[in-house]
Structure 1
Amino acid sequence: MEQHTLTDIAAAPATRLGTLSWVGMEGIALPLKVAGQAIAGRASAGVSLDDPTARGIHMSRLYLALAELEGQELSLSRVAGVLDAFLASHEGLSRQAFLDLEGEALLRRPALISPLSGWKTYPFTLCCRRDAQGLHVILELSVGYSSTCPCSAALARQLIQQAFDEDFVEMPVTREAVHAWLGSEQGVLATPHSQRSQAHLSVRLAIGLDELPLEALVERVEKALGTALQTAVKRIDEQAFALANGQNLMFCEDAARRLHQTLRDLPGIGGFALRVVHAESLHAHDAVARSQWNWQEA
C-alpha cells in the first residue's frame, strides 16, 4: 500500500495572531506512586504558547513525556525532568511548562493504643511550573481531624455542676456516692459538641528539595492538632480518642495558629497559606480560619 504523508494542521500558521499563557490537557489518568503506594492519579499538562504565529502546540508530546512518572516514586527531580521534556519538545514555541498532579495519598496510620492500624487517604495536588527562573512547586494537601468546641465544653461542665448541686443538696457527699453519680447518666448530663474538621494547606516547596515531603507534612500536622481521624480501633483506642478531644479543646482560630507555627518550623518550606474548616455540629454553617506566611496570591 502506498504510504502518504499525513498533514499536520497544527503546523500551519495561525489565522489570528496572539500568544497564550497555557495550552495543554487536563484530567489525564496517570498511575503514580506516593509514599511507596501506587495510586490512581490525574495530571494536567501544558505549556505556554509564546510564538504568536504558531497555530497550536504538540499535545501528544506532553502526553508521552508523562510516562517517566509511571510506577516511580513521585519526586521533584522526576517532575523537573518531565517539565524539561515539555520545553525541549516545544523549542521555539514555549518558554514555560506546567504540570499539576493530583490524587489521594494512601498512608497506613496506627491506632492510639492498641496494635491495630488502617489506611487513610489524604487528597493532594502538586502544582509545578518551569520557567526562566527555574522550578516552582506548590503542594496542596488536606488533612482531617476532630475538634471539640471549648465553649460547649464549658457550658456542659456548668450544667453538670448544677446537676451535682441539685442531686447532693440533701445527700451525703461521700467518695462512693460521687463515684457512682459520675458513672451514671446524671453525671454526663451534657456533653460538648465535636465536629469532623479539615485543614487545607498550600505549601511552597524550597528550591533544591527532591523528596516529596507529603508524609512528613501529614505527621507534623496531625501531631500539632492532636486529634487525627482514626481508622481501625478497639474500645481502648476510642476511649483514648475521647480523652484527647477533652484535653484538646479547639476553636478554628486555635487550630490555625497551631498549624501556622508548625509550618513555620518545618524545613524545606518557602511559604504557605492554610485554611481550617470546622464543620459545625451546632450550626448549619462552618467555622473557618485562614493564615499565611511569605505568600502571594496568584
Structure 2
Amino acid sequence: MTTNPARVMPDVANVAEAAAGRLDWVGMDEIAVPVRVAAPDGSLVQAPARVAAWVDLARADVRGIHMSRLYLHVDRHLSSEPLTPCSLRRLLRDFLDSHAELSTRARVSVRFDHLVRRPALSSANSGWKTYPVELHARLDGGEFTLELVTEIAYSSTCPASAALARQLIQEQFARTFPAGGPTDRDAVLAWLGSTDGIVATPHAQRSSARVRVRLAPGFDLPILDLVDLVEGALKTPVQTAVKREDEQAFALLNGQNLMFCEDAARRMQSALEGDERIADFWLRASHFESLHPHDAVAVATKGVAGGYGAASFD
C-alpha cells in the first residue's frame, strides 16, 4: 500500500474541547529505554530504565500535547548519549522546542538500578550490589534543576540493646567468678568464648537510607560518589560475597558503630552538608526493627530557601 502525499491525516488534539483549561503536567510514564552511566574508570555502564516525560499544557484552547514527540526525544537522547546534567537539560530543551506553541516548562524522571562491583571486607572476593537510582530534572523559565535519589541498605545495631546485653554478661561473670575467689586468665578466656559467657547479644537489623539531593550546577552526575559518601558515614553497608573472615569483620564494624535511627540520620546529614556538589537534601533513615514489628525512622533536611522543608516525609 502506497501513501498518498496529498492525504491529510486528522489531528483531533488540536480541536478545542468544551471543558477547556490549562493543565499543570501532561506526558508519558513507564517509557522503557536503555541508559548509559559513566563508571569511575571512565567506562559506560548500560542499564534498563523507566522514564517519565512531561510538559505543561499552558494553552486552555488546545486539547492535548504531542505525546509522540516526547517519546521520540527520550528515545533519541537517552539511547545515544550518556546520562549527564547537560544531556538531561538538552532533552528538556527539545521537549519545549517541540511544544513551543503549547508549553512553558518540562520535566523528566529516569529510574534504573545502578550495578556496582564491591570488594569483600577481608577476603579477596567481591560481588555485585545494585543501588536504585532516580533522576528528576526540570526546566522552568530557563532555570534547570536536577535531583538525584538513591537508597542504600545497611546494618544497625541498637545501642540500648547492646548496653542491656553487656549488663547481663557482667552479671553472668559475677556469678561465675565470684569476688574473692581465684580468677584464672585461661578460664576467663575460655568463658568469654562460650555460650555460657556471652549469654546475651544486642539486636541488629537491616536498615535503609533513602537520600534525595538537589545538585548544584557545574558538576558531573555523582551517583557512585553519593553512595560512597553515605556508606562511609554509616560504616555498615550490607555486603555481597561473605566468607567467615568477612562476617567477623562485619560483626566488628557493627559493634563499633552502634546507632539509633537518629544517629544514622545525623551521620548522613553531616556528610551531605560538607559536599559542595549538593545544594539541598532530604534524607530518611529507616530501621526495620527486629525487636518489634514497626520501624524506627528519622528524617533530616538541609532545607535551604525554596528547597526541602523539614516537614517533608515522602
Deviation (angstroms), 1:16: 2.2
State the secondary structure of the residue aligned to 1:231.
coil
Matching residue within 50, 53, 59 for 1:51: 59
For 2:249, which of 237, 240, 244 is the aligned residue? 240
Q: Quote the Cα distance in structure 1 between the aligned partners of 2:276 and 2:118.
A: 23
1:177 matched to 2:180: no
Question: Which residue of 45, 57, 68 maps to 1:60?
Answer: 68
CA distance in 1, matches of 2:223, 2:176: 53
Q: Show the counterpart of 2:275.
A: 266
Query: Could you say what secondary structure the match of 1:227 adopts?
Result: coil
The equivalent of 2:152 in structure 1 is: 143
More displaced 10-residue stretch of structure 1: 71-80 or 267-276: 71-80
Moved over 4 A (4+): none
CA distance in 2, matches of 1:198, 1:65: 35
- Distance (Å, rounded) in 2 between the aligned partners of 1:85 and 1:94: 12
Alignment of 1:209-224 (within 5 A): 209=219, 211-224=220-233
The CA distance in 2 between the partners of 1:9 and 1:86, in whole Å, is 21
Q: Distance in 2 between matches of 1:50 and 1:221?
A: 40
Aligned residues: percent identity? 49
Amino acid at match of 1:164: F
Q: Are the aligned partners of 2:281 and 2:308 in contact in 1 as well (CA < 8 Å)?
A: no
How far apart, in 2, do the equivalents of 1:224 and 1:149 lie? 17
Distance 1:93 1:195, change over 3 A: same
Kindly indicate whether the alpha-carbon contact (under 8 Å) linking 1:38 and 1:71 is maintained by their aligned counterparts in 2.
no
SS at match of 1:204: strand
Contact 1:31 1:71 in 2 (8 A): no
Letter of the structure 2 residue corresponding to residue 92 of structure 1: E
Letter in 2 for 1:121: T
Indicate the residue corresponding to 1:187 in structure 2: 197
Does the 8 Å contact 1:147/1:196 carry over to 2? yes
Q: How many residues align?
A: 297
Aligned-residue offset at 1:37: 2.1
| Rounded Cα–Cα distance in structure 2 between residues aligned with 1:179 and 1:214 | 46
Matched residues in 1 for 2:63 and 2:17: separation? 4
Alignment of 1:24-39 (within 5 A): 24-34=27-37, 35=39, 36-39=44-47
Q: CA–CA distance in 1 between the matches of 2:36 and 2:142?
A: 28
Distance in 1 between residues matched to 2:280 and 2:134, nearest whole Å: 16
Task: Give SS of 2:197's match.
Answer: helix
Answering whether residue 298 of structure 2 is matched by residue 289 of structure 1, we say yes
What is the DSSP-based 3-state SS (H/G/I as helix, E as strand, rest coil) of the residue aligned with 1:280? coil
Q: Which residue identity does 1:44 align to in structure 2? A: A
Q: Secondary structure at the match of 1:65?
A: helix
Match 2:103 to one of 65, 70, 94: 94
In structure 2, the residue matched to 1:201 is: 211
For 1:72 and 1:171, the matched residues in 2 are separated by: 76
Q: Deviations over 1:266-294 (max 9, x none)?
A: 12111111110000000110000011012
Work out whether 1:251 is the aligned partner of 2:251: no
CA gap of 1:52–1:291, structure 2 versus 1, over 3 A, is same
1:105 aligns with 2:117: no
The Cα of 1:103 is off from its aligned counterpart by 1.3
Where do 5+ consecutive residues of structure 2 fail to align?
none
- 1:222-278 superposed Cα distances (whole Å, 9 cap, x missing partner): 011010100002111110000000011000000011100100011211111111000
SS in 1 for 2:298: strand
- Determine the C-alpha separation between the residues in 1 that align with 2:52 and 2:182: 72
Distance 2:101 2:123 in 1: 60
Corresponding residue of 2:20: 17
Equivalent residue for 1:7? 10
Cα distance in 2 for partners of 1:276, 1:40 equals 27
Q: Distance in 2 between matches of 1:96 and 1:163?
A: 68
Alpha-carbon separation, structure 2, partners of 1:24 and 1:198: 32
Q: Does 1:73 align with 2:70?
A: no
Q: Within 2, Cα distance between the matches of 1:29 and 1:2?
A: 30
TM-align CA RMSD: 1.4
Residue 226, structure 1, aligned to residue 223, structure 2 = no
- CA-CA distance at 1:202 after TM superposition: 1.0
Q: Hey, what's the Cα distance between the residues in 2 that align with 1:160 and 1:186?
A: 9
AA aligned to 1:66 is: V
**TM superposition shift of 1:115:** 1.7
Q: How does 1:116-127 map to 2 (within 5 A)?
A: 116-127=125-136
Partner of 2:286: 277
